[in-house]
Amino acid sequence: MPVILCLPLSIQQAIWSHLLAGEDEQCESAAFAFAKHVEREAVHSFECVDWYAVPVEGFEIRSGYHIELTDEIRATVIKRAHDLNASVVEFHSHLGPWPAQFSPSDRMGLAEFVPHVRWRLRGRPYLAVVTTRTDFDGLAWVADSSGPVRLDGINLDDRLILPTGLSSLEYQDDN
């Protein structure tokens, strides 16, 4: 079943601006959206209801190749999703000249964070999107299994943009 994230164009532009034109363009950035999951016409549709830009002080580690959130930011994101009865959509940036895809470091972070968030939110789906200046890629955990499926696109005010599809679906959950 296809997985589509629906974002108003204004929110997508604000998220991308935060991720790619921040105070320190040498470091990756992060943001989260909160989306309602609706299954309609054989499509997993995620409709954005709110978003949150992670501030510079919200990182334990922040470099051009790796980010790690503080415990406070993780708790804030989970609580906001709980309060909205929404799924979490994670966004982060990659700064190099390469097409968008999740790095080995990203995969390790997802292996740790996704099961925890899904457990805390009683099995709600989780989406992850990596952006570059020119494209994006995404994965989604929608079923009870631990493995992701591809995000098939982002609908921006009825205009579908497509991911690179370069990220591996191999996913190890060692927890």
pLDDT per residue over 74-98, tens digit each?
A: 999 999 999 999 999 999 999 888 9
Domain ranges of the chain: 3-161
Tokens of 114: 């996704």
Enter the tokens of residue 43. Answer: 């499509």
Q: Could you tell me the fold of the domain covering 3-161?
A: Cytidine Deaminase; domain 2 (3.40.140)
Q: What is the dihedral of CA 45, 149, 105, 48, to 10 degrees?
A: 0
Residue 148: count of CB within 10 angstroms of its CB = 25
pTM equals 0.94
Q: Contact, 129 vs 90, CB < 8 A?
A: yes
Q: What is the pLDDT of residues 91-137, one digit of tens each?
A: 999 988 899 999 999 999 999 999 999 999 999 999 999 999 999 99
